[in-house]
Amino acid sequence: MSLTTTGSHLGVLVINYAPPEPASVPLETAGTGHGLVGMRERVRLVGGTVDIGPLPDGGFRVAARLPLAAHGAGAESGSASAAAGPEEVDIPGTPSPPARDR
């Protein structure tokens, strides 16, 4: 998981990599299927964007961009934090992505 701020927006990236071995128990199949729909609706309601989907290697990715100011209020365009560029924040307790052979 990573968080990035660009002055007026917060970027959230969550990647679940494919497991090294297949699951020994079946995955949950009784879900309603509204989790991703609900996520898209909530992000849209605050004026953000989201990209959700499977990865070619079997993992899954959620990338959202959310405004830091109240929806419709806008943010100051000349703020010092916007001029400083993106800032990435490490979240304690989240695993690093596995090493990949290229």
Q: What is the pTM of this model?
A: 0.61
Range of the domain at 51: 1-18+34-69
Task: Answer yes or no: is 3 within a domain.
Answer: yes
Task: Answer yes or no: is 63 within a domain.
Answer: yes
pLDDT tens-digit profile, the chain (102 residues): 999 998 899 999 999 988 888 777 776 677 776 788 889 999 999 999 999 999 998 889 999 999 998 665 544 444 444 444 455 555 545 555 555 454
**Predicted pLDDT of residue 100:** 46
The CATH number given to whatever domain includes residue 41 is 3.30.565.10
Name the residue type at position 22: P
Per the structure, how many domains does the chain have?
1
6 sits in the region (left: phi over 0; alpha: psi -120 to 50; else beta) called alpha
Task: Answer yes or no: is 12 within a domain.
Answer: yes
Task: Answer yes or no: is 58 within a domain.
Answer: yes
Task: Answer yes or no: is 74 within a domain.
Answer: no
CB < 8 Å & 24+ apart, contacts of 46-54: 46/71, 47/71, 47/72, 48/9
Task: Answer yes or no: is 102 within a domain.
Answer: no
Task: Answer yes or no: is 95 within a domain.
Answer: no
Task: Answer yes or no: is 79 within a domain.
Answer: no
